[in-house]
Amino acid sequence: MENTRWTKEQCKSFTEDFLNLMSLDDLAQKYSRTKLAISGKAFGLNLKRDLDRVIYPLDDLYVAKEYLEGKTIDQLAEKYGCSTGPIRHALIRANCEKRDSSNRNRKYTINETFFDTIDTPNKAYFLGFLYADGCNSKNGNTITLPLSVPDEEILLKLNKIINSTRPLQFKPISRKNPNHTDQYCLAISNKHISKQLNRLGVVSNKSLILKFPTEKQVPNHLIHHFIRGYFDGDGHVGISGNSYHISFVGTFDMMQGIQKHVISGCGFNEVTIRRDHAERTTNTFSFKYGGNIQCTIFKEWLYKDAELFMKRKRDKFDLIEIKRPKKNSDLIKNNTLIYEPV
């Protein structure tokens, strides 16, 4: 029968046994108490020890080695016949860094260092597209890039250049939406890539706070590839009558940065950056250049050395017709092309 009172001698002996890591079962048997009473007495005497080591005597370094070799915490717990708690504590004691949870039980592979440095035209283009239409989730694990079904081709190319084995996701949009269009979505679940994109400016909820990238983020010699990616997401080429025009939309800082490089690369004059009429209370702005001559110059600059681009937008530029001058000397006047639109 369980005693109701502890003598001083029992308390002294109990303290020694407890701190010497006698198991709860042995303590309960020695002092004729339940394990709950033993735990309560230890708490009352302010005695602390690592009970995991008493109940589950693990070799911390060996557990850490198995974990680093690929075994999951659940698998290790099953192997050693304990809960996941003792396994986690063993890893902590061994100073073993926890694996990225976004990579746990990964079904697909990807080049997770792709965005570590923006040093190729394709990387700059991809980043520009993500600036426009990408989403980097708040939890820091998932990046998505959804586009309408007709633009599936460019998503397949982007998926290929990052060596992703994850197929595109098909997302049917509710038929209740009068502007219904089904979508394909490129999805990436990788904490490291998410962190690098955040460093490069693709932050969560970026629509109204997006900043044009610094030269450190995107080198100047790659900036027109970045702008082409952004144009394929948030740019437009259209026609009114026989005259074509191009436009960009985004935050004021993005419009300033893009226009600066368009002026530098194409020799255009500065135009007004206007607040979006439908979004007058938000940080949404746009600017536009019109005329077949300017659109042709812009096309030649934007697609120089281009490997990646959205085909339907590139095809629109190919429809632009201009009257060629009779003599090559008539091509340029004051360093400006002077073709006449048809």
Indicate whether 332 belongs to any domain: yes
Separation CA 139–CA 219 (nearest Å)? 29
Query: pLDDT tens across 63-82, in order?
Result: 887 887 777 888 888 777 67
pLDDT of residue 256: 96
Name every residue whose Cβ is closer than 8 Å to that of residue 147 and which is 6 or more positions away in sequence. Answer: 133, 154, 155, 183, 184, 185
| Pair (23, 39) in one structural domain | yes
pLDDT of residue 8: 87
pLDDT of residue 281: 58
Separation CA 217–CA 225 (nearest Å)? 13
**pLDDT (average), residues 216-243:** 94
The most confident of the ranges 50-59, 181-190, 318-327 is 181-190
Q: 199, 115 in Cβ contact below 8 A?
A: no
| Pair (36, 72) in one structural domain | no
| Pair (76, 162) in one structural domain | no
Q: 193, 140 in Cβ contact below 8 A?
A: no
* Domain termination site, one of 207, 241, 263: 207
| Pair (244, 328) in one structural domain | yes
Q: Which CATH number goes with the domain that contains 285?
A: 3.10.28.10
| Pair (257, 329) in one structural domain | yes
Q: 192, 145 in Cβ contact below 8 A?
A: no
The region of weakest confidence among 164-178, 185-199, 260-274, 302-316 is: 164-178
**pLDDT (average), residues 16-22:** 79
User: CB pairs under 8 A, 24+ apart, for 318-326?
Assistant: 319/239, 320/244, 320/292, 320/295, 320/296, 321/292, 322/292, 322/293, 322/296
pLDDT at 335 > cutoff 70:
no
Question: 57 or 289: whose pLDDT is higher?
Answer: 289
Residues of the domain holding 19: 1-49
| Pair (130, 191) in one structural domain | yes
Q: 67, 96 in Cβ contact below 8 A?
A: yes
Alpha-carbon dihedral angle through residues 234, 238, 240, 246, given to the nearest 10 degrees: 60
Q: Give me the residue label for tokens 């060996």.
A: 62
